[in-house]
Structure formats: C-alpha cells, structure tokens
C-alpha cells in the first residue's frame, strides 16, 4: 500500500511540474503559476469526479442483479474474496472486448465490462478479468489512473493552446526562448505519457498477479488475455482512439495504432503477462 502512495505522489509531482513548464513556455512566470493552479484544481476535481467522467465518456450503464445477474453475482463473489466492499457494476456498449475499474477508493469504486468482452469470454475467463479489475481497486490504482488520465489530457490541451496563441515571454520582458517554448510544448505531453507508461506497466503486472490470487485461477486470466489480444486490435474502440489518455485504464491496450503508439504503450507485452500467469498456474 505504501508503494502505491509513493507512486501516486511521484506521478502527481511529475505531471504538475509538466503543467507548470508548459505554462512557463506560454506565459512566463505568470503562466507557470497559472498552470500550477490549474493543475492543482484539476487534481482536486479529478479526485472527486473523474470516475463519473470516464464512465460517461464510455457511455457505461450501471447494472444490478436483475439486469445482469451473472456479472453482478460474479463481482460480488470476487469482492468478498478480496475483502472489498461491493463496487458498482457497469456495462459499456463497446464492441471491443475490454474492461476497466475506476473510483477514488474501494468505498467509491466501479468496475466496467464492455459488451464485447461479455460476448467473447467464457464465464471462467471473465471471472479472471473481473478479479484483475478488483485488484486495481484494492491497490487504489484506480485513483492513479483516473487522475493521470485527466491531467495528461489537460497538458495536451494546454500545449495545443500554446501552439495556437504562442508564448508570451516571461514577466521581466526578456522573453522565453521560442525554440525552448516549442520544445516544451511538444515534449510535455510526451513526458506525461512516459509517466503514465512507467507506472501503468508495473500496475498491470501486479493486478494480473492479484487477480490470479483472488480468482484462484491464473490460467483463466491468461486465456482471457490471449483472446482479448487477438480481438482487440481487429475491433476499433473509437472512444479510446479519440481519448487515448484513457487507454491505460483498460486491461488490454485498446489503441489500434502501431509504431510510435506501441513505443508509448501503457501496457506490458501480453505475451509477458501470459507467461507470468502460466508460471503461477504451474507453481
């Protein structure tokens, strides 16, 4: 648990610093202070509201024991196994097989499965996926992912604003080096992605391990990952393509791009994840 708080602190420090750097490039010291204030305000807003925003973004609908009995009872059983309060359960009308968890803490958590994953996986495989998502809830990884997705997207928007309106120089009249300004406005969003990538990859591996333990079936989760990997890039997720900062929340990378997108992938290689899970199964 302590390690997760350290990761959260490092993530927030890095993203706030990037936000301030972009503000400096756009408007000097005043721009930097404004950027820091905006970043701080967005962190507070994201803490309380980002889960609702993400669920609305993916048009996720809450379900219960009546509307989705198999999924709801499965999540309830796994939550008991994990020693967690019952999260809210959602289904997103997305053809791509995927799932994610969100919420600021275990008492205010939600897990979401797409219609694609419900159609693709067996009940046993789906159980492994939901256990993976509940591990994110247990480790409070959902707070990391929702806040980082919100602020990383804001950094990109602020950088685009700088390109449209240009840097205004610093408050002492010396002006910010225009080349440096352009570099900051280009590199800041990339830096935000790198922060997300480094934390997200470790988080996914740990969630695989925890999910295998909660479900007591690492082989089922491995099988689910293999199936989803085979289908995910054949079935586009338009919401994720339009909002790539949310890709890190998914159990499988939802983006269909290659090359540079793979370089900045927030997910470990699926083959590596499957190998780790099969080692657990054999042990």
Number of H helices, E strands in the chain: 10, 4
d(CA 22, CA 35): 7
| Closest to 140 measured CA to CA, from 108, 93, 176 | 108
Catalytic residue among 125, 133, 219, 245: 133
End-to-end CA distance of the chain: 26
Residue 221 in tokens: 């989760």
Q: Is 173 left (phi over 0), alpha (psi -120 to 50) or beta?
A: left
Secondary structure (3-state) at 73: helix
271 is catalytic: no
Q: Where are the beta strands (DSSP E) in the chain?
A: 60-63, 88-92, 99-102, 110-114
Residue among 132, 134, 189, 182 nearest 157 (CA) = 189
Q: Which residues pair with 91 in a beta bridge?
A: 61, 113
Task: Give the whole-angstrom CA distance, residue 57 versus residue 275.
Answer: 33
Q: Which residues are catalytic?
A: 133
């Amino acid at each position: 648990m302590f390690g997760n708080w350290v990761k959260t602190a490092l993530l927030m420090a890095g993203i706030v610093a990037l936000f301030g750097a972009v503000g400096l490039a756009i408007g000097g010291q005043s721009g930097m202070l404004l950027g820091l204030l905006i970043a701080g305000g967005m962190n507070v807003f994201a803490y309380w509201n980002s889960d609702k925003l993400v669920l609305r973004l993916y048009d996720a609908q809450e379900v219960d024991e009546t509307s989705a009995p198999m999924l709801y009872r499965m999540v309830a059983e796994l939550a008991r196994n994990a020693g967690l309060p019952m999260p809210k359960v959602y289904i997103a009308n997305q053809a791509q097989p995927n799932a994610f968890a969100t919420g600021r803490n275990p008492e205010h958590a939600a897990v979401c499965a797409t219609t694609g994953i419900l159609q693709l996986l067996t009940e046993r495989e789906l159980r492994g996926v939901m256990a993976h998502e509940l591990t994110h809830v247990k480790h409070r990884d959902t707070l990391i992912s929702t806040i980082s997705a919100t602020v990383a997207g804001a950094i990109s928007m602020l950088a685009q604003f700088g390109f449209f309106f240009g840097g205004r120089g610093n408050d002492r009249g010396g002006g910010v080096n225009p080349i440096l300004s352009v570099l900051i406005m280009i590199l800041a969003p990339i830096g935000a992605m790198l922060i997300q990538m480094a934390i997200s990859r470790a988080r996914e591996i740990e969630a695989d391990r925890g999910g295998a333990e909660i479900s007591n079936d690492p082989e089922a989760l491995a099988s689910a990952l293999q199936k989803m990997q085979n289908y995910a890039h054949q079935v586009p997720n338009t919401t994720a393509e339009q909002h790539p900062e949310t890709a890190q929340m998914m159990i499988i990378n939802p983006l269909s791009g290659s090359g540079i997108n793979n370089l900045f992938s927030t997910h470990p290689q699926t083959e590596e994840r499957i190998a780790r899970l099969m080692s657990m199964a054999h042990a």
